[in-house]
Amino acid sequence: MVTTSRALILLMLLAPCLHAGEKAGPYRSTYQTQLALFGPSAGLLRPDTIPFQQTLSVDPGAKKSVGLAVLYSLLLPGMGELYAGNFNTGRYFLGAEGALWLTYAGFGIYGNGVRDDARSFAVVHAGVNTAGKDDQYYVDIGNFISIDEYNQKKLRDRSLDKVYDPALGYSWQWDSDASRAAFREQRITSETAYNNMRFVVAAILINHVASAINAARATISYNNALAQPLGDLRFSAGVLGGLAHPHGIMLTVAKDF
């Protein structure tokens, strides 16, 4: 069960990395202007006077800060990629973050439930007083059938500081060894869930760092794309009004951004 749980956690952690290679960069658009060389419409034509012209926005070309992208992803995975204009990869880190936190909560709820059930079982089958007991006490009652057996073992080992005083409410006596073994198994199951929670915390930290690295890469790619040479100018000419009713010549200049 431990191996399966941790394999699922690793899969959630690695999933964003499978998409981290997608290219980031500013979107390019085409800016077009038209000029009537002669005729009644001579001059620069307004966009709304050009038939069938598609209006496109031009990217302002502002560079992004790598430091800010890293900071955003360290705080919340995926936000640095969103800032860098590459949320296509950032969404996987954000999704992994949510899944990991849900897994963390699930292990915590499950571990607490099993622990409480085990301690209630010990009250019924061993006469345990649960008030003020630490985790080591529950480890000990799961390993020994009674407080007398435990204390005798500690006296033989000369571990006087570990002897329990029955007068202080530390006494126990299991009704059967099978009950003791059942309690011990429940306690180990709860401890396994708590250990998995620590594993999930490590995976969450790795997810933050991985997203920060990916956000830095996306921001650098974005800035590099801004520095690339713009597309070549393209020229075309046409007759205003068509061949049936010509009233000028139109020159079109287009450039990619």
Lowest mean pLDDT among 7-21, 63-77, 166-180, 184-198: 7-21
Rounded CA-CA distance 49/108 in Å is 66
**Rounded-to-5 percentages of helix, strand, coil across the chain:** 60, 10, 30
Q: Which H or E element spans position 32? A: strand 30-36
Rounded CA-CA distance 196/108 in Å is 9
**DSSP-derived pairing of the beta strands 30-36 and 43-44:** antiparallel
Contacts of 83 (CB under 8 A, 6+ apart): 64, 68, 69, 72, 215, 219
Which CA distances in Å does 66 have to 19, 208, 250? 20, 15, 45
Q: Say whether pLDDT at 103 is over 90.
A: yes
b/e map 181-201, b = 16+ CB within 10 Å? ebbbebbebbbbbbebbebbe
Give residue-wise pLDDT tens across range 59-80. Answer: 445 889 999 999 999 999 999 9
The residue among 251 and 154 whose pLDDT is bigger is: 154
Residue 257 — very low, low, confident or very high, per pLDDT cuts 50/70/90? low
Rounded CA-CA distance 217/76 in Å is 17
pLDDT for 225? 86
Q: Are the beta carbons of 240 and 36 closer than 8 angstroms?
A: yes
Q: Say whether pLDDT at 191 is over 60.
A: yes
Q: Are the beta carbons of 115 and 187 closer than 8 angstroms?
A: yes
**Mean pLDDT along residues 220-235:** 71
pLDDT for 166? 93
When computed from its CA atoms, the radius of gyration of the chain, rounded to whole angstroms, is: 35
The residue among 196 and 54 whose pLDDT is bigger is: 196
